[in-house]
Amino acid sequence: MTLRRMATAGLLAAVVAATLGAVAASAGGPRPPATRDQSLRALAARSGLYFGTAVDAAAYADTAEPQYRSMVDGQFSTVTAENAMKWESLEPTRGTYNWASADAFVAAAERNHQQVRGHVLAWYSQLPGWLSTGIQDGSIDGPALRALLRKHITDVVTHFRGRIWQWDVVNEAVSDPWETPSAIHLGGNTGSLKQKFADLLGPDYLADAFRWARAADPKALLFYNDYNIEAFGDGGPGDKTQFVYDLVRKLRAQGVPIDGVGSQGHLSTQYGNYDVLAVAETLQRFTDLGLAVAFTEVDARSLTKNASDPAAAAAGQDLNARDQASAYNYHVLLQACLMNRHCLSFTVWGFTDKHSWIPGWFKNPPEGSGCLWDANYQPKKSLRTVQGDLFMGGPPRVAQKPRR
């Protein structure tokens, strides 16, 4: 191309761009804010998806840190209480409920026009001390635990009736392949609280839990929620996704009122990445059962030497690669969700590395840096990736599932 032709081509491109810009501005009114400046809730709404976060009640109430609250209020269209609705929070003393924190959380969500995911009803973890001690020392037997669980579900679901969009009715009921025995089963390691909880209640407790929840709030969508069920494995005895699939298929076949499966989505870059289509196909198999699906606790952490300062420690260990791997993990789950119109919501388990459960939980080896914003509330590649994916997410989806 000659210099002259290049100049002409450049001029032509400029004229075309200017004309298109003028047409877009006059036809569509004022130009929308740049994609990077749009909230996740606004971008997700383009495709009819709800975008959520877990909310740390202490950070939300901290007047010294107004940014946390303003981002919860402004960025998200659904919220989950990180701890405030757990049994240990609601009934720390046997027979005495403490609703204050959970009530404040739900009221704030309603002020902000956010849908609430209720988390969590039947779970072996974060039980009040009086209950876990009783299970461990045998002073609470099977029938007693069943009666306590029935009362707990009935009281809590009734308390919030009409105000909860999705309830995590049963959480993490099945074992992991690295536990003993290694074949996936209801419960966990032999002798663990997880196993005792399952054994005392017996295999029918899931069906009962869903029925009790449905009786207390007929409108709320009722979910089974678990981690490491993003994709099917080999279908054998160590395949947790297959076990959960068989479990919920059986519940549906028995007419148990279960509406959805929540895939937590706690990922770590040390384990490599999922395949987008493998995740999409997994969601599809669940929704083919007539169930809705949701990603309920997404984060994508990385190994760090110093978990209290993940960014600094990782800088010497190829931070860029970790950042990109984390972003890709978000992308895989979000794209799979957007590919399925029965994927109702995509919730992250905290949005800033400043208030994330990761460094406190994954210590050996130390992990961190799993959120969309860093510890100084600065956007990370994962945030920009998610914003781009939402922008490209296509027209609003009309969810048809769950089928009731």
Smallest distance from the beta carbon of 43 to ligand XIL, in angstroms? 25
- Residue 257 Cβ vs ligand XIL, minimum distance, rounded to whole Å: 21
Active site residue 82: no
Q: Which is nearer to ligand XIL, 83 or 329 (CB)?
A: 83
Catalytic site residue from 82, 91, 179, 297 = 297
Least Å distance, CB 398 to ligand XIL, is 29
Instruction: Select 171 or 369, whichever has its Cβ closest to ligand XIL.
Output: 171
- State residue 121 phi and psi, 5-degree precision: -100, -65
Q: Which residues bind ligand XIL (CB under 6 A)?
A: 82-83, 171, 264, 297, 357
Closest contact distance (angstroms) between CB of 273 and ligand XIL is 20
CA nearest neighbour of 338 among 52, 79, 45, 47: 47
Q: How far is the CB of 194 from ligand XIL (least distance, A)?
A: 12
263: which 2 tokens?
């895939």
| Cβ proximity to ligand XIL, 171 vs 326, nearer residue | 171
Nearer to ligand XIL, 82 or 239 (CB): 82
The residue whose Cβ lies closest to ligand XIL is 357
Catalytic residue among 172, 179, 230, 367: 172
Residue with tokens 């609280």: 193
Query: What tokens were used for 162?
Result: 């009409």
Smaller CB distance to ligand XIL: residue 369 or 387? 369
**Any catalytic annotation for residue 297?**
yes
Q: Which residues are catalytic?
A: 172, 297
